[in-house]
Amino acid sequence: MFGVFKFVREAHKEGILPVVGCEFYVVEDRFQNSFTGGKRDKRYHQLMLAKNATGYRNLSKLCSLGFLEGFYSKYPRIDMELIKNVTRKV
């Protein structure tokens, strides 16, 4: 998401319709930061694409909140609760 403006600008210069998206790490609880007793941080990859400007704003919010609320080790993580809350405000 950090390079999307340049990507869109360059695509339009070349007459290409860009597809904007972001890959997320989805977990059960984005706030959980300690894993003991053999329990691992299970992360699932999820690709989300923006259909329109509202979708782009949702992706931006999810990406930012993944870093702010769900960051663990080197992974920005989101969970289903966050996805539902961000997309519900549309």
Please tell me whether the overall predicted TM-score, pTM, comes out greater than 0.75 for this model. yes
In the chain, where the domains are located: 20-88
Q: Are 70 and 31 in contact (CB under 8 A)?
A: yes
39-84 pLDDT, tens digit each: 777 889 999 999 998 999 999 999 999 999 988 888 899 999 999 9
In the chain, the largest separation of any two C-alpha atoms, in whole Å, equals 54
Q: Are 34 and 23 in contact (CB under 8 A)?
A: no
Q: What is the pLDDT of residue 34?
A: 79
81-90 pLDDT, tens digit each: 999 999 876 5
